[in-house]
Chains A and B, each alone.
Chain A
Amino acid sequence: MRMTRQGGPDDTDRMIDALLDQARATPRDMPEGLAARMLRDAYDEQAARRDAVPVTAPARQAVRGWRPGLWRQFLDAVGGYPSVAGLASVAVFGVFIGINTPDLLTQGATTLGLTTASTDLYMVDVASVWDDLAAEQ
């Protein structure tokens, strides 16, 4: 495909090569003050790092054998405060069920055949105990 006639693509290619070679041989000078600005940034960054000296969690662990407290370990295990809120709600509901067993629950359990002579022992109406205590006084 290459042609050698005067002014053909070959000559243009040679011109492009010559132009690129010339560009390579004449690197651009940095504008005045640019090197100084680059250096100023370099020193500022060095100074900022000197002043900062951050104490990160891994660093504390490495240096003083620091480990998280029991509460923090518990939180990490259950998945943070949202989970703790859920656990608290369930616990409060459990206590409510224990103290004030709704009739529906006992009736339902009886209907399903879940109550027997032995489970009746656990289905005590706690309130009546307080009544008995009050009567003794």
Chain B
Amino acid sequence: MEYARGTMTGMALDALSDCDDETLLAHYAAGDAAAARLLTARLGPRVFSHAARLLGDAAEAEDVAQEAMLRLWRIAPEWRAGEAQVSTWLYRVTANLCIDRKRRARGGHTALDAIAEPADPAPSAAGQLQDKARMQALDEALATLPDRQRQAVVLRHIEGLGNPEIAEIMEISTEAVESLTARGKRALAAALAGRREDLGYADD
């Protein structure tokens, strides 16, 4: 494609794709273009998705995701092997960038204004419409949570990470993670309690 500079440092793509993130990052730092492509394919979508869940705004999430990856490219030569997982580091950088942005935005108007409109409003089958409505309702409810609760709930229940890794990302104890996720879920329940019927969960 456009970036066809490819496997210039010798290692075959197949062998590279078996490597863990940290090894790929070392290859990237050594000048391997294929490692950059694999890292982008592996980590880019996770970074973007996480930013979108934390911000509730796809355009802002796009900026944050690009910035978070840029920081990864820049730290690559100094990356100290074995200290932290690349994904853990990226989740932390992404969340911090999101929180910074929201703090700046709050100077002007409330965070509620930033709730995402559905990214793609194209109508389709009823089931898809309902899925979309459900995800939008979840995003709206997530937006009512304090930043740290929202981050903990998203990492635990949407990214599917374990409490020890979340504790490392958020730089708090696992007990604090449990407390944040529990409070976050209670707040979600409070925000969505009246919406079972219109989201189609009334006859479960």
Residues of B within 8 A of A41 (CB): 66, 69-70, 73
| Residue A9 is within 8 A (CB to CB) of chain B in the complex | yes
Q: Provide the residues of chain B in CB contact with A17, threshold 8 Å.
A: 157
Is A39 on the interface with B (CB-CB < 8 A)? yes
Are A34 and B65 interface neighbours, CB within 8 A? yes
Q: How far is the CA of A17 from the CA of B53 in the complex (A)?
A: 16
Whether A15 pairs with B199 at a CB distance below 8 angstroms is: yes
* Neighbouring B residues of A7 by C-beta, 8 Å: 196, 202
Q: Does B180 belong to the interface (CB within 8 Å)?
A: no
Pairwise interchain contact B158-A24, C-beta atoms closer than 8 A: yes
**B115 at interface (Cβ–Cβ under 8 A)?**
no
Chain A interface bracket (under 10, 10 to 19, 20 to 34, 35 or more): 20 to 34
Cβ of A97 under 8 Å from chain B: no
Assess the B138–A19 pair: CB atoms within 8 A. yes
**Chain A residue at smallest Cβ distance from B77:** A49
**For A18, what are the chain B residues with a Cβ–Cβ distance below 8 Å?**
201
Contact B31 A11 (CB under 8 A): no
Given the interface pairs A22-B134, A31-B58, the reply to whether A46 lies near B192 with Cβ below 8 Å is no
Please provide the chain B residues from 28 to 83 with a CB less than 8 Å away from any CB of chain A in the complex.
Answer: 28, 31, 33, 36-37, 39-41, 44-46, 48-49, 52-53, 58, 62, 65-66, 69-70, 73-74, 76-77
Q: What is the total number of residues of chain B having a CB less than 8 Å from a CB of chain A?
A: 49
A91 to B88, CA, bound (A): 61
Q: Decide: A42 and B138 in contact? CB cutoff 8 A.
A: no
Interface pair B204/A14, CB less than 8 Å apart: yes
> Does A61 interact with chain B (Cβ within 8 Å)?
no
Q: Measuring CB to CB, which residues of chain B are less than 8 angstroms from any residue of chain A?
A: 2-3, 5, 28, 31, 33, 36-37, 39-41, 44-46, 48-49, 52-53, 58, 62, 65-66, 69-70, 73-74, 76-77, 119, 131, 134-135, 137-138, 153, 157-160, 185, 188-189, 192-193, 196, 199, 201-202, 204
Which 6 pairs across A and B sit closest by C-beta, in order of nearness?
A42-B36, A20-B157, A45-B73, A15-B201, A38-B69, A19-B138
12 new A-B pairs (CB below 8 Å) besides A36-B3, A38-B44, A49-B77?
A16-B192, A17-B157, A19-B137, A20-B153, A34-B44, A34-B48, A34-B66, A37-B66, A42-B28, A42-B40, A45-B76, A46-B36
